[in-house]
């Protein structure tokens, strides 16, 4: 870690002051630590360097450093330099804050609040911190097998575009996406997902969440009613709440979203958000009669349909189901996809495919909001798709994930059977499993987390009460670990007093 930049712009040592120079330096550094301008673990400049910057003798700096070290503000290691202490004693902080009355010029604590939409957006719970622990943790969901991605090939494609500035990838004019990538996405979506579009209708965004945020802000006014699947995707819930929408939870069953129930709850929604290919989180595929009913009602009511096709490539029985957008003849469906599940999450590239009459409006808005991924990454992705690497990678991963899914289903039929029953579903990177009625799925998830097993309670994704269960990922878990983790989970559920199904 490089040395931390000190607040030298406001640090002035006065030779004529009553306090000695070392004491002035001591006070200045101590204040910076307590105010948070110098962070725990940050490395300070060497005594010789700081003395030269301040125009004082080295002993002045050494004396100040020694005093701060003795009081617990700093810590020094041979060969590692001097650092801000990683942990400051609570008693030390309390004493220092009590001893420092509010001084003129010191910023007071900001008590201003968020907007109503800001509060709604920030209150949406997500489990993102768990992803930082890396793949392989059972049963982490939403994460592909990153270790199987062809990183050397990807790095060569990135380097190809990064080292040639003449390709035009270093400026601002990326707009709604590089033409080569938009053409590649349009060709892939048409061939693999039955989407009917041209490259001009493709809007490249910063990940699926950027696509959700853009669509919500462009299509909704505060208070607009939106059908949302219940249980459903928290990321969509957050984006819709952030746009000020009024959520209308619509129940989901084995055929997907219940269109008749949605009509009964609110007949004229402004927007309908659905995951028809693989419902999140229950895994159902929206049946053809309901697809047609949904499109017909959207046409009659004037609603937009936002189709989130987040991991439709991974279907293990039969051919992938064609998109809802491909059935749309009224221009009501906006299709969105992402490469986070098929490649890796950090690529941060998603896309919207919008009706032709929305292209200009979305193109203008995306330039203002900055939902634009780096051009070099876009160019590399265009090559990755166009040269056939993407299709080959998806085919390899589909075979791998099918094997891992089968192992988890086997465990659910055996050691986990007394507590869990797999929900119907034919694809994806994860699955849901139901607990016995009356079980506390949140308590079971907490008990598993204490044993380093990551599962989510279905109640987390619900706006209304429903059948308890657990959401379990398998894509990033090595085959050899799935059975072991299932045995551990069975023991955890038994110890936690989970009600048995039989």
The CATH number of whichever domain residue 68 belongs to comes to: 1.10.10.10
CB neighbour burial string for 141-176, b if at least 16 within 10 angstroms, e if fewer: bbbbbbebbeeeebeebbeebbeeeeeebeeeebbb
Digit-coded pLDDT (tens) for 457-484:
999 999 999 999 999 999 999 999 999 9
Judge whether 457 lies within some domain: no
Do 185 and 84 fall within a single domain? no
Other Cβ atoms less than 10 A from the Cβ of 426: the count is: 18
Instruction: Give the residue among 89, 38, 125 at the shortest CA–CA distance from 445.
Output: 125
Do 237 and 373 fall within a single domain? yes
Q: Which residues span the domain enclosing 91?
A: 8-99
Digit-coded pLDDT (tens) for 105-143:
455 566 677 887 777 777 765 544 444 444 557 999 889
Spatial separation of the C-alpha atoms in residues 168 and 178, rounded to whole Å: 10
**Enclosing H/E stretch for 246:** strand 246-253
Do 190 and 319 fall within a single domain? yes
Contacts 24+ apart (CB under 8 A), 120-124: 120/241, 120/242, 120/244, 121/238, 121/241, 121/242, 123/241, 124/234, 124/237, 124/238, 124/241
Spatial separation of the C-alpha atoms in residues 86 and 93, rounded to whole Å: 13
Residue 80, burial from CB neighbour count under 10 angstroms (0-12, 13-18, 19+): exposed
Do 91 and 176 fall within a single domain? no
Tokens representing 450?
């204490």
Spatial separation of the C-alpha atoms in residues 409 and 415, rounded to whole Å: 11
Do 177 and 318 fall within a single domain? yes
**pLDDT attached to residue 107:** 53
Judge whether 236 lies within some domain: yes
Do 277 and 182 fall within a single domain? yes
Judge whether 265 lies within some domain: yes
Do 36 and 172 fall within a single domain? no
* E strands, 44-201, in order: 74-77, 81-84
Spatial separation of the C-alpha atoms in residues 54 and 114, rounded to whole Å: 41
Tokens representing 288?
């053809």
Judge whether 40 lies within some domain: yes
What total of structural domains would you count in the chain?
A: 2
Angle CA 158–159–161, to nearest 5: 70
Spatial separation of the C-alpha atoms in residues 333 and 327, rounded to whole Å: 9
Residue 386 near residue 460, CB atoms below 8 Å: no
pTM of the model: 0.79
Angle CA 149–310–373, to nearest 5: 65
Tokens representing 59?
């002993």
Residues of the chain with pLDDT under 70: 1-10, 77-79, 89-111, 124-136, 165-174, 318-320
Q: Provide the greatest CA pair distance for the chain.
A: 86
Tokens representing 359?
């292209």
The edge-to-edge listing of strands for the beta sheet with 456-457 is 421-422, 430-434, 469-473, 456-457
Do 54 and 177 fall within a single domain? no
Instruction: Give the residue among 178, 207, 202 at the shortest CA–CA distance from 378.
Output: 178
Judge whether 71 lies within some domain: yes
Judge whether 173 lies within some domain: yes
Other Cβ atoms less than 10 A from the Cβ of 11: the count is: 16
Among 339, 358, 388, the domain-final residue is 388
CATH classification at residue 179: 3.40.640.10
**pLDDT attached to residue 92:** 52
Residue 45 near residue 3, CB atoms below 8 Å: yes
Do 260 and 335 fall within a single domain? yes
Do 39 and 169 fall within a single domain? no
Tokens representing 482?
């799935």
What residues contact residue 170 under an 8 Å CB cut-off, 6+ apart? 375, 376
Q: What is the 8-class DSSP label of residue 3? A: B
Q: Give the dihedral of Cα atoms 365, 370, 374, 380; nearest 10 deg.
A: -30
**pLDDT attached to residue 129:** 40
Do 252 and 338 fall within a single domain? yes
Phi-psi region of 222 (alpha: psi -120 to 50; beta: other; left: phi over 0): beta
Q: What is the DSSP secondary-structure string of 251-291?
A: EEETTEE-HHHHHHH-SS-SEEEE--SS-TTT-PPPPHHHH
**304-308/271-274 β-pairing:** parallel
Judge whether 336 lies within some domain: yes
Do 74 and 196 fall within a single domain? no
**pLDDT attached to residue 296:** 97
**246-253/304-308 β-pairing:** unpaired
In DSSP terms, 273 is beta-bridged to 228, 306
Tokens 């059975």 belong to which residue?
483
Among 329, 362, 388, the domain-final residue is 388
**pLDDT attached to residue 113:** 79
Judge whether 396 lies within some domain: no
């Amino acid at each position: 870690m490089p040395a931390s930049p000190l607040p030298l712009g406001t640090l002035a040592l006065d030779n004529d002051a009553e306090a000695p120079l070392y004491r002035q330096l001591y006070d200045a550094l101590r204040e910076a630590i307590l105010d948070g301008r110098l962070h725990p673990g940050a490395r300070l400049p060497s005594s010789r360097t700081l003395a030269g910057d301040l125009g004082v003798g080295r002993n002045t700096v050494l004396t100040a450093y020694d005093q701060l070290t003795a009081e617990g503000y700093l810590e020094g290691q041979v060969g590692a330099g001097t650092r801000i202490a990683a942990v400051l004693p609570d008693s030390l902080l309390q004493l220092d804050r009590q001893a420092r009355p509010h001084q003129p010029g010191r910023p007071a604590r900001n008590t201003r609040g968020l907007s109503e939409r800001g509060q709604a957006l920030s209150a949406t719970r997500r489990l993102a911190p768990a992803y930082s622990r890396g793949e392989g943790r059972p049963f982490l969901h939403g994460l592909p097998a990153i270790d199987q991605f062809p990183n050397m090939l990807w790095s060569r494609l990135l380097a190809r575009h990064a080292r040639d500035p003449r390709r035009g990838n270093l400026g601002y004019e990326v707009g709604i996406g590089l033409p080569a990538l938009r053409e590649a996405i349009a060709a892939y979506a048409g061939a693999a997902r039955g989407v009917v579009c041209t490259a001009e209708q493709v809007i490249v965004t910063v990940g699926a969440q950027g696509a959700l945020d853009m669509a919500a802000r462009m299509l909704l006014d505060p208070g607009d009613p939106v059908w949302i699947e219940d249980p459903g995707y928290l990321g969509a819930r957050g984006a819709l709440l952030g746009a000020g929408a009024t959520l209308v939870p619509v129940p989901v069953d084995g055929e997907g979203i219940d269109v008749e129930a949605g009509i009964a709850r609110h007949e004229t929604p402004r927007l309908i958000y659905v995951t028809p290919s693989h419902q999140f989180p229950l895994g159902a595929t929206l049946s053809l009669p309901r697809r047609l009913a949904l499109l017909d009602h959207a046409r009659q009511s004037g609603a937009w349909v936002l189709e989130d096709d987040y991991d439709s490539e991974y279907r293990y029985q039969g051919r992938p189901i064609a998109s809802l957008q491909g059935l749309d003849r009224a221009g009501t469906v906006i299709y969105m996809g992402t490469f986070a599940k098929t490649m890796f999450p950090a690529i941060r590239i998603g896309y919207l495919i919008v009706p032709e009459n929305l292209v200009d409006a979305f193109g203008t808005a995306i330039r203002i909001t900055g939902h634009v991924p780096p051009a070099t990454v876009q160019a590399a992705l265009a090559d990755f798709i166009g040269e056939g690497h993407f299709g080959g990678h998806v085919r390899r991963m589909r075979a791998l994930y099918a094997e891992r899914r089968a192992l988890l289903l086997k465990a659910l039929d055996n050691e986990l059977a007394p507590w869990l029953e797999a929900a119907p579903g034919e694809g994806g990177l994860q699955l849901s499993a139901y607990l016995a009625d009356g079980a506390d799925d949140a308590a079971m998830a907490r008990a598993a987390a204490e044993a380093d097993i990551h599962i989510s309670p279905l109640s987390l994704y619900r706006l209304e009460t429903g059948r308890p269960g657990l959401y379990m990922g398998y894509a990033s878990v090595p085959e050899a670990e799935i059975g072991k983790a299932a045995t551990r989970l069975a023991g955890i559920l038994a110890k936690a007093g989970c009600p048995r199904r039989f």
